[in-house]
Copies of this chain bind each other. A is one copy, B any other.
Amino acid sequence: MSVLASLVDALGNGSIEVVDLTAPLSSDTPLLELPPEFGQTARFELEEISRYDDRGPAWYWNNFRTGEHTGTHFDAPNHWVTGKDLADIGSVTPSAFVAPAVVLDVTAEVEQDPHFLVERSHLDAFQDEHGPFPAGGWLLCRTGWSSRTTQEEMLNNTDVGPSSPGMSPECARWVAEESVLQGIGVETVGTDAGAAHSFDPPFPCHSFLLGNDKYGLAQLQNLDRLPATGAVVIAPPLKIVGGSGSPVRVVALVERS
């Protein structure tokens, strides 16, 4: 049987499950906040066009306004100045949308310290245990942060500013420049730690990954439902011509035994 016929069979008999990794998109969806002197990503808002009424007797539908980087979303290389001559979201190669994923679980560490940063040593230990990262794959950082569903909990502002986990500059540089990975996925509103404006360089995940033609996935959920290795992540962003990112429905294919 061909690989695709086997895939269809396995989806049909439940031996491969489709797991939804996406946060619900509504006006309650938490979103990134920058200092007030900067432009801001828009809250998701529906505008009803008709609802089986005079405006459309047999149909219900909406228009909506949102940000490219609102809710669960995909960062394209041109989102960052380091990648400004690289792909926009409409030109990212479709082969990136179906890719293997590994899941690094640092929930225990983040429970102890909301400023926890993933370091090279965590990636080394993961590979020692599970084997090398898959070529063109995603590194998904499972922090437990997606249990925070309100704006306040998600940003976690403290007296030192937004306090959420992320990745150290050296680790981000390694993922971008030396690893075979195509990008990282996180549960927070952006790929960088809440305090990353103060890092050297600032926002190292954005700066290094996007500058190296790699990608980011933010505000993922249900990472606890994925195995450490072996899942396939499906993340096809909208084909926004010249866009810098896109809200995206992210799902994973997971083999059940």
Chain B residues, CB < 8 A from A84: 52, 60
A158 interfacial by beta-carbon distance below 8 Å: no
Q: Tally A residues with Cβ within 8 Å of B.
A: 91
**Binary contact readout A76-111 vs B (1 if CB under 8 angstroms, 0 otherwise):** 001111101000001000110111100000000000
Could you tell me if B207 and A242 are in contact, using CB atoms closer than 8 angstroms? no
A253 interfacial by beta-carbon distance below 8 Å: yes
- Per DSSP, are chain A's interface residues mostly helix, strand or loop, or mixed? mixed
Partner of A34, one of B2, B56, B64, B97: B56
Could you tell me if A11 and B95 are in contact, using CB atoms closer than 8 angstroms? yes
Could you tell me if B58 and A68 are in contact, using CB atoms closer than 8 angstroms? no
A19 to chain B, nearest CB (A): 7
CA distance A10 to B5 in the complex (A): 13
Could you tell me if A255 and B3 are in contact, using CB atoms closer than 8 angstroms? yes
**Contacting residues of chain A (20-74) with chain B, CB-CB under 8 angstroms:** 20, 22-26, 34, 38-42, 44, 46-47, 49-50, 52, 55-69, 72
Could you tell me if B68 and A62 are in contact, using CB atoms closer than 8 angstroms? yes
Chain B residues, CB < 8 A from A246: 249
CA distance A234 to B5 in the complex (A): 15
Interface residues, chain A, with chain B CB atoms under 8 Å away = 2-8, 10-12, 15-16, 18-20, 22-26, 34, 38-42, 44, 46-47, 49-50, 52, 55-69, 72, 78-82, 84, 90, 94-95, 97-100, 134-136, 202-203, 206-207, 230-232, 234, 236-251, 253-255
